[in-house]
């Protein structure tokens, strides 16, 4: 199947969009993000419309050429009505990307909006199926009914979303295969992506000066799926949630400025996720943050500034040649290094396959 190798599930936040735009062209060509609009509980229609319009505009500006999807998984009936007004079918007809997304468990208004938008655009409909735990065969029936409502000439794209896949979920690959066995035969999918989130929340004993290491169970789940022997394996594309926990996309955007007093520098290696505490403010902020960057650049698995802009920033921060950043910068840098490394890993595998 031609097309990008990697489908990251990313929030429609400025730091994530900046990370995508900063990728090298060869890396960006292999990345097709699933941009996820955040929940806005209780927001009145006018400010909600403004927020949705702003987020959708950012995504559209970042994807004049490269493929992507835009999803509103948390929209209830009321928000879906506002969404239909902000992003009517004509909005989609003017651009070939991003593609709209819906799912079998969505409110009727959200499904109707996505189907109408996809039909007007003509470039495809993303169907996002969530499997947060055990696979439920009821979802197969719901997905089939959704497909029956879709014009058979419209390309359809399956995104199997496993949510958080942490060490406490050892059977994630088995549940993913049960879901794929049921869903893949339902349509001639243009894309079949399996997305899961493996970056953990910071531990309770997280503190300055200590590098925290966690395994990559989402990556292991992907390899277990790839070694299953299923006939549809050549169709599959890898997806994850970037460097933030899977629950991050479901968080309501914070109001005001500043944010928490501390943040996290994150780094991805072949075997692990690394987390180092950094400070947003305080008299020792720069010293702590540069030491955190040095703890990452001193790793045997640090790939060096030639690997990408994320590593370049970490090197410069460690050496003192750039400011030590803030929450937006740390998230942007983390996603830059992570997405670049994932594409490199997937490309190497693809090159080695017969």
How confident is the model over 68-104, as pLDDT tens digits? Answer: 999 999 999 999 999 999 999 999 998 888 999 999 9
Amino acid 255: pLDDT: 67
Amino acid 354: pLDDT: 42
Report whether pLDDT(7) > 60: yes
Amino acid 66: pLDDT: 84
CA atoms within 13 A on the CB side of 161: 25
| pLDDT (tens digit per residue) in 285-342 | 999 999 999 999 999 999 999 999 999 999 999 999 999 999 999 999 999 999 999 9
Indicate the pTM of the whole model.
0.95
Report whether pLDDT(3) > 90: no
Report whether pLDDT(107) > 50: yes
Q: What is the mean pLDDT of residues 268-294?
A: 96
Amino acid 96: pLDDT: 86
Report which of residues 1 and 235 the model is more confident about: 235
Percent of the chain topping pLDDT 90: 91
Q: What is the mean pLDDT of residues 160-187?
A: 97
Q: How many angstroms from the chain centroid is the CA of residue 289?
A: 26
Q: Give the other-Cβ count within 10 Å of 89's Cβ.
A: 15
Amino acid 65: pLDDT: 79
């Amino acid at each position: 199947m031609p097309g990008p190798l990697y489908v990251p599930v990313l929030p429609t936040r400025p730091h994530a969009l900046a990370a995508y735009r900063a990728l090298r062209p060869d890396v960006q060509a292999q990345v097709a993000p699933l941009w996820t609009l955040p929940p806005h509980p209780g927001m009145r229609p006018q400010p909600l419309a403004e927020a949705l319009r702003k987020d959708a505009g950012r995504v559209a500006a970042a994807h004049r050429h490269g493929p992507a999807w835009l999803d509103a998984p948390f929209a209830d009936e009321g928000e879906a009505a506002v969404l239909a007004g902000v992003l009517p079918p004509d909005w989609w007809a003017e651009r070939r990307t991003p593609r709209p997304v819906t799912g079998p468990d969505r409110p009727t208004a959200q499904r109707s909006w996505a189907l109408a938008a996809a039909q007007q655009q003509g470039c495809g409909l993303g169907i996002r199926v969530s499997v947060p735990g055990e696979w439920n065969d009821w979802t197969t029936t719901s997905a089939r009914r959704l497909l029956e409502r879709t014009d058979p000439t419209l390309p359809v794209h399956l995104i199997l979303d496993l949510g958080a896949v942490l060490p406490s979920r050892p059977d994630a690959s088995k549940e993913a295969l049960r879901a794929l066995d049921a869903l893949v035969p339902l349509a001639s999918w243009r894309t079949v992506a399996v997305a899961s989130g493996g970056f953990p929340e910071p531990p309770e004993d997280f503190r300055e000066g200590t590098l925290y290491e966690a395994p990559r169970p989402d990556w292991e789940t992907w390899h277990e799926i790839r070694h299953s022997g299923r006939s549809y394996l050549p169709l599959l594309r890898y997806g994850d949630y970037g460097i933030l926990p899977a629950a991050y996309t479901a968080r309501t955007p914070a109001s005001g400025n500043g944010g928490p007093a501390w943040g996290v520098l994150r780094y991805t290696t072949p075997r692990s996720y690394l987390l180092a505490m950094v400070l947003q403010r305080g008299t020792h902020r720069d010293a702590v943050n540069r030491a955190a960057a040095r703890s990452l650049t001193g790793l045997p698995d640090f790939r060096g500034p030639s690997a990408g802009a994320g590593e370049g920033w970490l090197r410069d921060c460690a050496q003192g040649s750039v400011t030590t950043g803030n929450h937006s910068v740390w998230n942007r840098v983390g996603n830059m290094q992570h997405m670049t490394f994932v594409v490199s890993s997937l490309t190497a595998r693809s090159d080695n396959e017969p």
